[in-house]
Homo-oligomer: A and B are copies of this chain.
């Protein structure tokens, strides 16, 4: 018997009533007499009673826990996302358990298994860079544990994903510039082989087209995403006059087969 925590039994014995009476009184069950209810609640407050979430979890098969796996805890991108998740989870009575894959495939598998073992009610994660094989998510799907990928995703017809919609973002920002009165809108792109680069350029062109602006290859610069090369590209464009900008938008994509 743990004396560390007070339980229904503690209160029941102190008041010479049954545990079920205490349980109901605390939840304001109408069947319980007002006098008994008052006494029980008073003692509960005094003793700082809080229901044991383990017991409730066992009974209801629900932990109110969301598992979060990120490749890296320190990078601003991820820590800010964790911050958002924590905030939302909290607001809805959940708490989050953080795990880090360190961009490792093996570690990612381990984290995943650990979270399932914990009986988390759901998992939100970003794939590790190393991960090429996606079969370890079979276990998660079979367990029917809700799963959401963000940023780096896979198996997107089976799993809900949250990703930056690069094309839409580039399209919108291009239009935004146009609507703000600008007519020579440039774009600094990343490495040509990346998807995000292609998507953004596509959105950029789409935006231009929607605004009836011609596409001018001189206004499309490339960089390797390093600060130095971005600076160079900027200066190259500045020589042509108008400074370019690029924002990103966020889109939630639901699985096509739910």
Contact = CB atoms under 8 A, between A and B. Distances in A.
Interface of A: 2, 4-5, 48, 50-55, 57-58, 61, 63, 65, 73-74, 76, 79-80, 82-83, 86-87, 90, 95-100, 114, 116-119, 139, 143-144
Contacts of A143: 4-5
B99 A97 contact: no
Interface of A is mostly: mixed
Contacts of A48: 139
A68 to B, nearest CB: 9
A52 B119 contact: yes
B73 A79 contact: yes
29 contacts: A2-B61, A4-B61, A4-B143, A5-B61, A5-B143, A48-B139, A52-B119, A53-B117, A53-B118, A54-B54, A54-B57, A54-B58, A54-B63, A58-B58, A65-B97, A73-B79, A73-B80, A73-B83, A73-B86, A74-B76, A76-B76, A79-B79, A82-B98, A83-B100, A86-B100, A96-B97, A96-B98, A97-B97, A98-B98
A58 B50 contact: no
Contacts of A61: 2, 4-5
Nearest to A50: B117
Q: List the 9 closest A-B pairs by CB distance, nearest first.
A: A73-B83, A79-B79, A54-B58, A50-B117, A2-B61, A54-B57, A54-B54, A74-B79, A74-B80
A117 B76 CA distance: 30
Contacts of A76: 74, 76
Contacts of A95: 97, 99, 114, 118
A86 B74 contact: no
